[in-house]
Structure formats: structure tokens, C-alpha cells
Amino acid sequence: SYVLTQPPSVSVAPGQTAVLTCGAGNIRTKSVHWYQQKPGQAPVLIIYYDTNRSLGVPERFSASKSENTATLTISRVEDGDEADYYCQVWEQDSDHFWLFGGGTKLTVL
């Protein structure tokens, strides 16, 4: 079955760049969405259709995609960016049509 693989954790110092990956076979052919979930809060859609920022999301957040990896890049990381980040695709042949990655916890050192 189709699986989205995200590293469990990424740590970065304030002002540095965080790179969060989402790996899956042939992800290039799928639309990837990214969600941010801060502690104790509901998820929020931050990137949709691979590269589009939701309203109000800073330009520091950007995303891209290659053959087998989708990437969320957060530039000039701030303390407030500390959160869990999930990638998501639609996979009709999966046991979960809206398929989420396991999530990456971004820690700001």
C-alpha cells in the first residue's frame, strides 16, 4: 500500500532553514498538501496543491516536489514555527483515501 514517509523530528536553530521531507514512490504524480499542527491545536492547511500557500501563511514557507519526495522548506525559522507538520495526498487505492504522512515534529532550538 502507498505510504508517505516523514522523518519523526527535525531540529533547527532560530533564523536557520528547516527542510521537511515527505517521501513516497512517484509522488510527483500526486497533489501534495501540508498541514501545521501546533501543540493542543487543530491542524491548519498551510500549503495546498504542492506549492500554494494558504492565506496568511508567511512567504518563509515554501514547498516543492521531485520524483519521489515532496519538501516543505521553512526559511528564517521562528520560535512560533515549532509544530508538527503533516503531508497528505489522495490515494484511491489505499485503505485511507486521504492519506497522511506520519508527521514531523519541528523543534526550534
* Binding footprint of other proteins on the chain (CB under 8 A): 30-31, 33, 35, 37, 41-45, 48-49, 54, 84, 86, 88-90, 95-103
35 contacts 86 by C-beta, under 8 angstroms: yes
Choice between 60 and 91, CB closer to other proteins? 91
99 contacts 2 by C-beta, under 8 angstroms: yes
Compute the least distance from the CB of residue 58 to other proteins, in Å.
18
Nearest to 9 by CA among 101, 87, 85: 85
Choice between 81 and 84, CB closer to other proteins? 84
